[in-house]
Each structure stands twice: as structure tokens, then as C-alpha cells.
Structure 1
Amino acid sequence: MNSSKYQHLFFDLDRTLWDFDSNSEITLNQLFRDYQLQSIFGSFLFFKSRFEYHNGKLWNAYYQNRIRKEDLMYRRFYLTLKEAGTDDLDLAKEIAQDFIEISPLQTKTFPNAHKTLQYLKDKGYNLHIITNGFNEVQYKKLSNCRLISYFTEIITSEDAEANKPSPLIFDYALKSAGATRSNSIMVGDDLKTDIAGARKSEIDQIYFNAHKNKHEDQPTYEINNLIEITKIL
């Protein structure tokens, strides 16, 4: 059993364990080919950049409860197509459905994800997921990447009926895991949702800053590689 004051570790999934950007690019590449989108966008880079722009804006709206899950799923493609001169809602919905099916099949994780999680599990920590992602997608990601066996509780924003950084999802997670604020720590890549949310809920944080972005925040800990968690805990 570990001797740390922390007993429960809550991990974000996308961009913390599951390499969202790399896996998304693989998926978008397949969609670009399957739907022959070069005739609309000219290049994959233009398609990808505009999708990422609209996807980011819509996810921010979702975090603020200004858009429904069902609308987010297709509107990110509808707005991307529309910007390139193709106003086709049916095509957007087709592509959106394929994206939801293909994306969670991708299996790229961040370096040392498995090694770090195995170390923590062997040390006796209770590991959990807190994600703003959708149930039908996140569970598939965890299963296909063979990450799911490390975790005791998987908390999604859908189950909690609240998105990070809301204290409601952290309260729900603590109750589900049988954890307390003082014996828990949150590991995540997003300063606004993971770190600020945990801090607001009086939970310590480990900021996973894989790209070494400059910032003025002061998380409890900061790492650039997941294996560094083993030096903290």
C-alpha cells in the first residue's frame, strides 16, 4: 500500500492519456479520403484546420451548456463544410456519424501512459477517469487502448449531468469513488477545465503540460511527461 496522502487519482482522458490530436488527425484523414473532400476543401490541411476551429468553439459552448451534445456532433462538420462553400446538412451528419464510429478505434496514447498507470496501480492507488466526453465514445477509447482495466470509476459529464470545471462533476466523482477532497488529486492537460475545476473543488492538481506551454497558473504540480507522476507519488 502506498504511503502518500493521496489515495485517489482522477485522470482526464483526452489529451492526457489518449492522444486526441494524433488520433483525430488519423480519423479526419480517413474521412477526407472516404468522402473525397479534396473537391470541397482543396487540401487536407485546410479541412483539418477549419474543423479544429469549429470543433473547439462548439466544445467551449458545450462546456457552458449553450449547445446540446447532439448538435455539437454534427454542427462541427456542418460549419466546416459551409465555410468551404458546401451547405449540406445531410452530408455533415453522415460524416459526423462516421467520425464518432472511427475516432474511438484509434489507439495512440501519450508516452508512458501504460507504464505510469501500471506503476500507480501496483502501488495501491485507486485510479479513476473524469471526462467531459460522451459515454459511447469514451468507453470505446478506453477499451480499444487497453486502458480501461486500470480504472475503478469512469466519470463522464453525461453521467454527472455537469461538465468540468463545474464543482458538480467533481462532487459526483468523489462520491462515486468514495474519496475525499484531501486524499484526491486531479491529473489533466487543461488549465481551464481540469486544473481550475479541481482547484475550485479544493482538490490538488497535476498539470500535464506535454507541449511545455507558457502560462501563469500555479497548479499543485506540473509535469511534461506522464512518467514524472511516479516521482511525485
Structure 2
Amino acid sequence: METPGNKRVEAISFDLDNTLVRYERSPGDVLQATFDKHGFEPIFSVEQYYARYDEFAETCDSMNELRSECFAALASENGHESQLGRDIAKAFSNERDQSNVELLSAADRILETLSREYRLAIVTNGAQDAQQQKISAVNLERWIETVVIAGHDTPPKPSPGPFRRVTRSLNAAPATTVHVGDSLETDIAGATAAGLDSVWISEDAPTREFDPTYRVDSLGDLYPSPWSREPEK
């Protein structure tokens, strides 16, 4: 019988943003720079943008379209003309460089090590053009076999759809695939719904609502892998 300490794993999928890569300038910094540089009133917060991102990612074909529609809606909801939101979105796009990302600490070491033993994939929400630019900017193709950008061909995480697609693409069973991510609400919930074990990267304790199979403090703690360690007694 398999136990958490000797589980057979053949494939690993990873979330992208804040799991493998991060912007060298955060979206909050870029939004504030956009307001400051162009003299715009700060009519919405980056937290409001985050809250609506996945909603617009489902219906928009590009990052520029996503941002334009999202910012227009936020402007209108905050009592301004929707065109002002579109103007801010255009200025934000000029300020933001999607390729201006970097690998998180230990990512190259961990991916290089794990790729020798497992088939690796990415499952990420977002606009296809933006996510692909990030992947290419840090050459994740060195280690990653399959990328699923959820929100177009499949519903976004936490739907089980993108996780099922990645296991089919890797020719791996859900029971022998593990998903790694930093979000309980999207990564852990979606992986669990698709029948995958999960690794939550966080120094916090999980909530009762979401129950990751494993928890590690940082990406660097993925090796030795938690599913191969002897269970604590």
C-alpha cells in the first residue's frame, strides 16, 4: 500500500505566477507609475484588478484586451467614464513589459533536478499572449513539456478542466500527477477536484476549506520531494 512517504509520481504540473516566476516590477508598482506618469486619478486599486482578472481572462483573447475591458468596468463601477479606464489600460500596457520577469529563487535548480525524474508541465490562468511571453522570457521550455493556459480552451482554475487536460497531454494518470502552486483557492482546489495530489507553497497553515496533500515553505523545498520522504511519526 502506498503512503504519503512512498507515493508513485510520474508527472508534476506547476502554477506559473509567483510559483515559478515573478515580475521584476509588481502590477501594483506599474499601476501606480501609470497613474503618476500620466496624471490619472487613482480610481481603482490593484487589488480590485486582481479580483476581476480571471473573469475577464475567460472572455478576452489578449492581455491588452483583458486590461482594457477590466479597467473600463472598474472605472464605471467607481463612478467614472469607462473610456477613462481604457485610457489607463493603454498607458499601463505601455508601462508594462510582460517579458520583464525573473525565475524565483531556486527555480532553475529545482526544475533541472525534477526534470530528470518527472515529466513537467505548467497550468496557469491568464491571457495567452502574456503568459507565453513570461514562459519564453525565462526559457522555461528547457524543462517544461506541456503548457495549459486556462481561460480559453478550458475554464480557468479552480475548474478541474485544465488539470485533466495536462494529464492527458502528458499521458499521465491523475493519481500519479502532483500539482504545485501558491493559491489554495485556484491551485489546490482545482487539483483536488481533478483527482491530483497537491503541494501548496506557503509558510502559512492551510484553512479548513482547502486541504493540500503537502505544504512546503518555498519552491526550494520541493527536493527532496515531499511525496518521497518518509512520513513523520
Structure with the larger helix share: 1
Cα distance in 2, alignment partners of residues 94 and 153 from structure 1: 36
Deviates more, 1:135-144 or 1:72-81: 72-81
Task: Summarize the Cα distance change of 1:214–1:177 in structure 2 as closer, same or farther, 3 Å threshold.
Answer: closer
Q: How does 1:32-181 map to 2 (within 5 A)?
A: 32-37=35-40, 40-41=41-42, 50-59=44-53, 61=55, 68-69=59-60, 72-82=66-76, 86-89=80-83, 91-100=84-93, 102-121=96-115, 123-158=116-151, 160-181=153-174
Alignment counterpart, residue 30 of structure 2, candidates 27, 39, 49: 27
Query: Aligned-pair distance for 1:7?
Result: 1.6
Q: How many residues align?
A: 216
Within the alignment, does 1:200 sit opposite 2:193 as a pair? yes
**Could you say what secondary structure the match of 1:108 adopts?**
strand
TM-score by length of 2: 0.78
State the Cα deviation string for residues 126-181 of structure 1 (Å, max 9, x = none): 11000111110101011123333221101111453221122222221111121111
Query: What code does the residue aligned with 2:194 have?
Result: S
Greater Cα offset, 79-88 or 135-144? 79-88
CA contact (8 A) 1:27 1:103 kept: no
Q: Give 2:231's aligned residue.
A: none
Q: Are the counterparts in 1 of residues 125 and 150 from structure 2 also a CA contact under 8 Å?
A: yes
Distance 2:117 2:152 in 1: 26
1:201 Cα offset (Å): 1.2
Secondary structure of the equivalent of 2:117?
Answer: coil
TM-score normalised by the chain length of structure 1? 0.78
**Aligned CA distance change for structure 1 residues 230 and 165 (closer, same or farther; 3 Å):** same
1:226, distance to aligned residue in structure 2 (A): 0.2
1:51-93 deviations in whole A, cap 9, x for unaligned? 3232233235458x6xx2367532432344456664241x422
1:22 Cα shift? 5.0
Going from structure 1 to structure 2, the CA distance change for 1:53 and 1:93 (only over 3 Å counts) comes to same
- Quote how far apart the aligned CAs of 1:20 are: 5.5
Deviations 1:106-132 (A, max 9, x none): 2134322222212212x3321100011
Post-superposition shift, 1:13?
Answer: 0.8
Unaligned runs of 5+ in 1: 42-46
- 1:224 aligns with 217
2:204 match: 212
Counterpart contact for 1:74–1:96, Cα < 8 Å: yes
Q: Give yes or no for contact 1:51–1:80 (8 Å, CA) kept in 2.
A: no
CA distance in 2, matches of 1:213, 1:87: 42
Inter-partner Cα distance in structure 2 for 1:98 and 1:148: 31
Change (3 A) 1:88 1:218: closer
Percent of counterpart pairs with the same letter?
Answer: 24
Q: CA RMSD in A?
A: 2.9
Cα distance in 2 between the residues matched to 1:130 and 1:169: 7
Structure 2 residue runs of 5 or longer lacking an equivalent are 1-5, 229-233
Question: In the alignment, does 2:12 pair up with 1:18?
Answer: no
